[in-house]
């Protein structure tokens, strides 16, 4: 019995990452047939008819043999119609001396042989690019420009099956690596960072509120969690919605991760340095916030906010189960979803921002309206947020109805402060932003002078600060010192950090 095999590389999305799949085919002398094996889903099984029709469009005749296509590893579930092009090329090249030259091949086939894109191709290549230093890919022509945005990816676009065959028939592959260019890029200590300087929502729209704007700069510099409390209409949500535009630059790895996570939610966008901003409604379920599903552990809002901002408006109105479950991703910067048939870990390194009224009616802090709530209602309203959860909030700001005072602080000037502090941090050799540093890492860069150490010691004994609260005070003070371009944390930095503590 004669048998010959050929193979190519592809990949499938498994929860939040792309896993390599090796596809091989074999022609065996047996009763004619065409089968695909390797724990494949219905969309891959249906590809047999699409592939037959596409191959017939280029005058290919199926041999009177048994054709078997195998996808390994065989215990990994595979899904997606992007395997079509590679399988068709395997079958056509089976009797040829050509090979697929270590390419990853992606594309769905039309019945006439045209190569189409799918929603999974871009996130798959993004995920692969974050793990491999260089990739060689064949993709549909319609998404070639988008794929070329990803650095260190050699890409070739094809419009139809015949184009792919002619490309593989060439002795030398006419490929080049596109130099990734971005409008706003900064290089620090030999590493590139990217940012988007487009203030669609500007802090200049907010009248007054200088203290809040200062807190926003500090929050962005260190990626500190922040809670705003104030009367309805004082600018809580407006401020937080503008926070994502003054966030620090991202490294290429962070940008690839964020865009790959965004694609998981069906967010088809160009590769860019805009940090994610997720704002779920307070009626959202626990699985929608943290991920889950009976058969497949899908990413929730906390994972989609990775490297960006997760905003809870009307903070106390979220369900108790959601609020208490929020403690894990805030503390560990990751969340593990366990199911009987799968266990998946999502990174959740986000800035958590929240806004709430001071009481159920919202007028407790108002200068013009009378509060209609009694003490029991106010106590019950505020008790919805537990102390362990509040302990994970770095910055607390109580907003006043400050509508008359002028403020020269706009998003451009605030971002410049954040950028300068970011450069200062990176030149210090710091890999993470201050709020995401471990206790040991923070101690190495804290550098408190004698006076600031005494103030912090008094605050611990006077206010009964626990270990986590002390760590957060130091972290905030470090961010304030970075804004001031100070290597040492001084008295004024510690005092300002203490002023943002919830009393």
Q: CATH no. for residue 152?
A: 3.30.230.10
* 29-38, 167-176, 216-225, range with the lowest pLDDT: 167-176
Q: Domain span at residue 121?
A: 3-169
Q: What's residue 1's pLDDT?
A: 41
- With respect to residue 435, please indicate whether it lies within any of the assigned structural domains: no
- With respect to residue 350, please indicate whether it lies within any of the assigned structural domains: yes
Among candidate residues 382, 406, 430, the one where a domain is terminated: 406
Confidence of residue 86 (pLDDT cuts 50, 70, 90): very high
> Does residue 212 share a domain with residue 157?
no
Token pair, residue 47, equals 């590809």
What pLDDT digit, counting tens, does each position of 245-267 carry? 999 999 988 888 887 777 766 66
Confidence of residue 179 (pLDDT cuts 50, 70, 90): low
> Does residue 200 share a domain with residue 165?
no
Q: What's residue 168's pLDDT?
A: 84
Query: What's the rounded Cα separation, in Å, for the pair 107 and 121?
Result: 8
> Does residue 340 share a domain with residue 272?
yes
Among candidate residues 406, 441, 470, the one where a domain is terminated: 406
* 136-140, 399-403, 496-500, range with the lowest pLDDT: 399-403
What pLDDT digit, counting tens, does each position of 65-84 carry? 899 999 999 888 898 899 99
The overall average pLDDT reported for the chain is 88
- Residues forming a β-bridge with 140: 158
- With respect to residue 297, please indicate whether it lies within any of the assigned structural domains: yes
If you average pLDDT over residues 185-198, what whole number do you get? 89
What pLDDT digit, counting tens, does each position of 265-294 carry? 666 666 778 899 999 999 999 989 998 766
Q: What's residue 358's pLDDT?
A: 93
What pLDDT digit, counting tens, does each position of 305-360 carry? 999 999 999 999 999 999 999 999 999 888 888 776 677 888 899 999 999 999 99
> Does residue 229 share a domain with residue 121?
no
Q: What's residue 271's pLDDT?
A: 73
> Does residue 141 share a domain with residue 34?
yes
- With respect to residue 440, please indicate whether it lies within any of the assigned structural domains: no
In this structure, are residues 288 and 322 in contact, taking their beta carbons and an 8 Å threshold? Answer: no
Q: What's residue 72's pLDDT?
A: 93
> Does residue 149 share a domain with residue 196?
no
Token pair, residue 219, equals 């929050």
Q: What's residue 97's pLDDT?
A: 64
Token pair, residue 364, equals 């407790």
- With respect to residue 421, please indicate whether it lies within any of the assigned structural domains: no
Q: What percentage of the chain has pLDDT greater than the value 70?
A: 91
Angle, helices 467-483 vs 491-499, to 10°: value is 120
> Does residue 355 share a domain with residue 269?
yes
Confidence of residue 401 (pLDDT cuts 50, 70, 90): confident
Q: What's residue 138's pLDDT?
A: 93
> Does residue 197 share a domain with residue 155?
no
**Omega of the bond leading into 118 within 30 degrees of 0 (cis):** no
> Does residue 365 share a domain with residue 304?
yes
Question: For residue 483, is pLDDT > 90?
Answer: yes
> Does residue 279 share a domain with residue 150?
no
> Does residue 163 share a domain with residue 297?
no
Total-model pTM: 0.85
Nearest alpha-carbon partner for 219 in 482, 494, 489: 482
Token pair, residue 85, equals 């092009």
* 256-260, 378-382, 436-440, 479-483, range with the lowest pLDDT: 256-260
Query: What's the rounded Cα separation, in Å, for the pair 316 and 314?
Result: 6
Confidence of residue 173 (pLDDT cuts 50, 70, 90): low
- With respect to residue 333, please indicate whether it lies within any of the assigned structural domains: yes
Interstrand relation of 309-312 and 250-251 (parallel, antiparallel or unpaired): unpaired
Q: What percentage of the chain has pLDDT greater than the value 90?
A: 52
Cα distances from 460 to residues 257, 456, 470, in angstroms, run 38, 6, 7
Angle, helices 252-264 vs 121-131, to 10°: value is 150
Confidence of residue 59 (pLDDT cuts 50, 70, 90): confident
How many structural domains does the chain have? 2
Confidence of residue 2 (pLDDT cuts 50, 70, 90): very low
Angle, helices 236-243 vs 210-222, to 10°: value is 30
- With respect to residue 94, please indicate whether it lies within any of the assigned structural domains: yes
Nearest alpha-carbon partner for 224 in 502, 437, 490: 437
Instruction: State the CATH number of the domain containing residue 388.
Output: 3.40.50.300
* CA 65 to chain CA centroid, nearest Å: 47
> Does residue 214 share a domain with residue 131?
no
Question: At 206, is the secondary structure helix, strand, or coil?
Answer: coil
Interstrand relation of 309-312 and 191-194 (parallel, antiparallel or unpaired): unpaired
Query: What's the rounded Cα separation, in Å, for the pair 255 and 127?
Result: 11
Q: What's residue 269's pLDDT?
A: 63
Query: What's the rounded Cα separation, in Å, for the pair 34 and 89?
Result: 15
Confidence of residue 174 (pLDDT cuts 50, 70, 90): low
Token pair, residue 145, equals 């420009």
- With respect to residue 479, please indicate whether it lies within any of the assigned structural domains: no
């Amino acid at each position: 019995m004669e048998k010959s095999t050929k193979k190519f590389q592809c990949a499938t999305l498994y929860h939040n990452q792309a896993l390599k799949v090796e596809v091989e085919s074999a022609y065996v002398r047996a009763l004619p047939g065409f089968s695909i094996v390797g724990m494949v889903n219905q969309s891959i099984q249906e590809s047999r008819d699409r592939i037959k029709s596409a191959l017939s469009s280029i005058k290919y005749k199926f041999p009177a043999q048994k054709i078997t296509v195998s996808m390994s590893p065989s215990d990994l579930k595979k899904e997606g119609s992007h395997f079509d092009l590679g399988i068709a090329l395997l079958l056509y090249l089976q009797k040829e001396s050509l090979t697929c030259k270590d390419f990853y091949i992606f594309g769905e086939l039309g019945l006439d042989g045209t190569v189409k894109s799918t929603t999974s191709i871009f996130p798959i290549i993004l995920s692969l690019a974050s793990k491999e230093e260089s990739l060689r890919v064949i993709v549909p022509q319609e998404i070639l420009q988008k794929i070329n945005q990803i650095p260190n990816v050699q890409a070739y676009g094809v419009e139809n099956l015949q184009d792919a065959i002619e490309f593989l028939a060439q002795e030398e592959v006419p490929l080049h690596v596109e130099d990734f260019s971005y409008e706003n890029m900064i290089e620090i200590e030999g590493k590139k960072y990217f940012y988007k300087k487009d203030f669609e929502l500007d802090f200049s729209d907010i009248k007054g509120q200088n203290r809040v704007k200062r807190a926003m700069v500090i929050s962005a510099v260190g990626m500190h969690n922040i809670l705003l409390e104030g009367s309805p209409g004082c600018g809580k949500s407006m401020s937080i919605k503008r926070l994502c535009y003054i966030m620090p630059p991202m490294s290429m790895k962070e940008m690839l991760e964020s865009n790959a996570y965004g694609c998981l939610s069906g967010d088809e966008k160009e590769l860019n340095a805009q940090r994610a901003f997720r704002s779920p409604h307070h009626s959202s379920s626990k699985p929608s916030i943290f991920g889950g599903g009976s058969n497949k552990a899908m990413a929730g809002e906390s994972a989609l906010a990775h490297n960006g901002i997760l905003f809870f408006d009307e903070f106390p109105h979220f369900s108790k189960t959601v609020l208490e479950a929020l403690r894990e991703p805030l503390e560990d910067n990751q969340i593990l979803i366990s199911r009987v048939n799968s266990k998946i870990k999502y990174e959740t390194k986000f800035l958590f921002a929240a806004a709430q009224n001071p009481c159920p009616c919202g007028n407790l802090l108002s200068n013009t309206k009378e509060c209609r709530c009694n003490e029991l209602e106010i106590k019950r309203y505020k008790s919805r947020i537990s102390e362990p959860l509040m302990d994970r909030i770095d910055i607390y700001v109580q907003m006043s109805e400050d509508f008359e005072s002028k403020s020269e602080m706009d998003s451009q000037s605030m971002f410049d402060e954040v950028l300068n502090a970011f450069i200062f941090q990176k030149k210090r050799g710091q890999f993470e932003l201050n709020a995401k540093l471990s206790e040991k890492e923070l101690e190495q860069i804290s550098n408190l002078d004698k006076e600031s150490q005494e103030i912090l010691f008094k605050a611990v004994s006077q206010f009964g600060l626990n270990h986590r609260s002390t760590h957060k005070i130091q972290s905030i003070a470090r961010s304030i010192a970075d804004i001031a371009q100070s290597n040492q944390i001084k008295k004024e930095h510690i005092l300002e950090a203490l002023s943002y503590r919830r009393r």
